[in-house]
Amino acid sequence: MNRVPTGIESLDKKIGGGYPPGKGVLITGAPGAGKTIFGLHLMHYSCVQGKRCVLIATEESPEDLLEQAAMFGMELGPFIENGMLSIKQVLEIRAGAVARAAHLIDGFSNTEIDLIDECHLDRSFRHDKIGFNIDEMDIIDIIKLVPDGTDVLVVDNLGVLAFGLDIKQFRDKFDTLNRVLNERMVTTVYVMDDAAYQLTHQIADYSTHGAIKLFVKENPYTGKMERYISIPKMRSTKISLDLTLFDITDSGIQLQKGKNVEIPG
Ligand SMILES: Nc1ncnc2c1ncn2[C@@H]1O[C@H](COP(=O)(O)OP(=O)(O)O)[C@@H](O)[C@H]1O
Ligand SMILES: [Mg+2]
């Protein structure tokens, strides 16, 4: 099977050359575990290869994401300029809604208006005429933010769109999103924070083709905090279930060779 390189060579070696094309993979982990950086590697490498990429950012601004990527030598700016990469600022619409509710602002930014239009969210005047009703963005609305012809998608962080849904709603919506993106052959990495992942009873794993878990743990022998990756699931791929240590270096994520470890603690 052809693969979509992850942008992390040491990870590609572990999963048969990269992510399964046209499928969805879930990356979960606590804050600071490295999820966003995994996504940035995929976006940068795919852009370099001339693939059309979309990054849906629900918790960080494009400026912050570009700055973080640049720290690892991955310049994303030129790909935004030439249209290969589109960053959808879902953070903006969330922050805007809160700020309007608190009467800190009363208008909409252009970014918000674009998103509201793209997602066909209702933006009707409230009866009291002091503002707008805005539908909340939904997991399914992600589909509307992914234009035809998109090759690679990163949703960072899906968890934000899962709050308030019960388990069945979440499962149904996430399955539907996955199915539509599969049909359209969009290779997708869903980043999901551990809080939302646990709240939805880790059910997201069932919908996707693959699952990658990141965590930081204390090494009981040295007392030092270390980063680990575990890959419990990758369909059609021979994988090792061992934990692997990884580092975040000046050039980004690097899995340590031959450093499979037993689960500490
Ligand atoms: N240049 C760097 N060198 C080493 N570590 C870094 C560098 N940049 C960021 N990090 C580490 O990466 C972590 C953030 O990773 P990130 O992917 O944003 O986490 P997550 O998305 O899982 O919350 C930071 O907490 C920091 O420890
Ligand atoms: Mg993140």
Q: Are 37 and 76 in contact (CB under 8 A)?
A: no
The pLDDT value given to residue 95:
77
Q: Which ligand is nearest to the CA of 57?
A: 2
- Does the CB atom of residue 137 touch ligand 1 within 6 A? no
Looking at 78-87, 163-172, 206-215, 252-261, which range is the least confident one? 252-261
% of residues, the chain, pLDDT over 90: 72
Taking the centre of ligand 2 as the mean of its atom positions, its distance from the CA of residue 129, in whole angstroms, is 37
> Residue 181: is its pLDDT beyond 70?
yes
- Does the CB atom of residue 192 touch ligand 1 within 6 A? no
DSSP, collapsed to helix, strand or coil, labels residue 35 as helix
The pLDDT value given to residue 76:
98
Rounded Cα distance, 83 and 77, in Å: 10
- The number of the ligand 1 atom at minimal distance from the alpha carbon of 191 is 21
Residue nearest atom 15 in ligand 1 by C-alpha distance: 34
Centroid of chain to Cα 202? 16
Tokens (6 digits) for 168: 């069945």
Specify whether domain 18-213 bears CATH 3.40.50.300.
Answer: yes
- Does the CB atom of residue 157 touch ligand 1 within 6 A? no
φ/ψ of residue 152, rounded to 5: -135, 135
Rounded Cα distance, 12 and 4, in Å: 9
Report the mean per-residue pLDDT for the chain.
91
Identify which has the larger pLDDT, 179 or 136.
Answer: 179
Radius of gyration of the chain (CA): 19
Residues 6+ apart with CB under 8 A from 258: none
Domain locations along the chain: 18-213
Taking the centre of ligand 2 as the mean of its atom positions, its distance from the CA of residue 150, in whole angstroms, is 22
CA torsion, ordered 237, 241, 196, 180, to nearest 10 deg? 10
DSSP, collapsed to helix, strand or coil, labels residue 86 as strand
Q: Which ligand is nearest to the CA of 35?
A: 1
Tell me the pTM: 0.92
Q: Give residue-wise pLDDT tens across range 53-72.
A: 999 999 999 999 999 999 99
Query: Where does the pLDDT of residue 130 fall: very low under 50, low under 70, confident under 90, or very high at 90 and above?
Result: low
φ/ψ of residue 235, rounded to 5: -60, 150
Q: Give residue-wise pLDDT tens across range 189-223.
A: 999 999 999 999 999 999 999 999 999 999 899 99
